[in-house]
Amino acid sequence: MSNDNTVGDRWSHHRDLDTFLDQREKLLAKAETEEDRQGWSRLLLHHAVDFASKICGEEVIKDAYGSAIEGDRQDALDKIARRLSVVQSIYSPFDKLETPGSLWSAMSEVRAIANGDEPKLFAKLDGRRRRYRLALTKLRALEWEAYLKALGVGSVERRARITVAYGYEWDTIYRWGDDIKSTLGADRVDTALRQAVLLHKHDMGKMLTGESSWEEALKADGLKHRKEMGFSVVPG
């Protein structure tokens, strides 16, 4: 990188930092309750981390993140633990060691599981038999209905596409709503469906799954549901 570009980047970073500091005061001043303040603080922290990432540069972030997980579950757990250690440093002044709910305890748990221990923090909660992952895949089907409707896709076509992707008749998929709400909560489901409608202005495929188009993303979501159900059939 040339010196001119380096100087330009520094000026740009200084400008972005000034903007961030100004916005921080304005946003926190808007908080009327403790819940509001926590929400704005989380948003500000997201922006601060994004700013730090830009300062480091894509190459540094890529190297720190590490290679793709291609090995077994132990390899995956080891890499997740290393990545959590970076995230944990953000909260280090308040993230108490080995305190339930802390990122440090989560990182320690992942490392313990990777080395053969039974999960403790991540063990299944007593008395809960709801299939959370399955509910999420079902919710995505209803999100697709809301998204494609907002996109202007006719009811016959959009429901046919969802049916093909998920492998169920539309009447069955439509009735998933009550089951999903009992597992995830009505507020979460309603919020997800409202957001799906707003996403019609963008490419839901790229934003949510990284696929090249919403058609491919829908197929990928249907396949994810089938796998969660234990099916081996790949949608056409």
pLDDT per position as a tens digit, 64-119: 888 877 768 888 898 999 999 888 888 888 887 767 788 889 999 999 998 999 99
Asked whether the beta carbons of 162 and 218 are under 8 A apart, the reply is: yes
Residues of the chain with pLDDT under 50: 1-5, 206-208, 234-236
Distance in angstroms (rounded) separating the CA atoms of residues 152 and 78: 45
CA distances from 114 to 67, 80, 82, 89 (A): 18, 10, 12, 21
- Please give the pLDDT value at position 200: 65
pTM of the entire structure?
A: 0.57
- Please give the pLDDT value at position 122: 86
- Please give the pLDDT value at position 147: 92
What the block records as the tokens of 2 is: 């040339």
Distance in angstroms (rounded) separating the CA atoms of residues 69 and 17: 34
SS3 state at 154: coil
The distance from CA 96 to its chain's CA centroid, rounded to whole angstroms, is 25
- Please give the pLDDT value at position 16: 82
